[in-house]
Amino acid sequence: MTSPSSASVRRINKEFADLQENPIPNLRCSLANDNLYQWNCTVAGPRDSVYAGGTFHFTLAFRPDYPFQPPTAQFTTRIYHPNFDLEGNICLPILRPQAFKPSVKLRSILEQVIHLLVEPNPDDPLSPSIAEQYNNDRPAFEKIARDYVQQFAKS
């Protein structure tokens, strides 16, 4: 692994400070073991979603060449969602290396993660069977998603 550049350190520090000074509602981020390149994040399930009442934890990991490569985001709280897999990986187009641009701010990435909780994207799933259920049997999807919140995301 290459060592981080000073530009990378400055950029992450600036964005982290911005999120501390102007937090996104219902989202908290902290450094994991004081490591600027590893963040622990917590988001409250949005009120207008099947994830309401849950508390979800995820990590953000930055590569040394950030912002030229996207961070990786991974949920550590189990979630029933078409855009997440069993390992907690997130299907978010903005995080794909071929689509990521250095101008993308972390705030935008975090807001898009929250938006996925309100409005899943079954057309770009990581879990095709859940996407199929979301499209074809929404009541069953919502029941299972709420059951997961009760079982895995209660704080």
Residues catalogued as catalytic: 91
Q: How far apart are CA 88 and CA 126, in angstroms?
A: 10
Number of neighbours of residue 38 by Cβ within 10 angstroms: 14
Q: Rounded to an integer, what distance in angstroms lies between the CA atom of residue 45 and that of residue 52?
A: 4
Peptide bond into 71 cis (omega under 30): no
Residues in the chain: 155
Taking the C-alpha atoms of residue 64 and residue 6, their distance in angstroms, rounded to an integer, is 10
Find residue 61's DSSP bridge partners. Answer: 38, 72
